[in-house]
């Protein structure tokens, strides 16, 4: 491990934000995500939310591609 990580003021703002984001995501998973038994739930691809997110992502890709080709 690099000793520079422990020197005060050596960490940039981006690194600090990244560490805060990782910690927040971990804590969210620990306290708010309820694991469902795999044999009792539907496969993830059968949920309408997954298809909605996929459609939005595809529309965003199409929109950005059309902007870049102009």
Whole-model pTM: value is 0.42
Place of tokens 């422990």: 6
The average pLDDT across 6-22 equals: 75
What are the C-alpha distances in Å from 4 to residues 9, 10, 19, 22, 67?
9, 6, 16, 21, 43
What is the Cα–Cα distance from 39 to 37, expressed in whole angstroms? 6
Maximum average pLDDT range among 23-27, 30-34, 43-47: 23-27
DSSP 11: S
Average pLDDT, the chain: 80
- Domain spans, the chain: 1-34, 39-70
């Amino acid at each position: 491990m690099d000793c520079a990580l422990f020197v005060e003021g050596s960490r940039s703002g981006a690194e600090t934000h990244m560490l805060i984001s990782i910690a927040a995501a971990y804590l969210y998973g620990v306290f708010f995500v309820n694991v469902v038994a795999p044999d009792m739930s539907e496969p993830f691809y059968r949920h309408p939310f997954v298809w909605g997110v996929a459609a939005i992502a595809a529309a965003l890709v199409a929109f950005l591609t059309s902007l870049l080709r102009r």
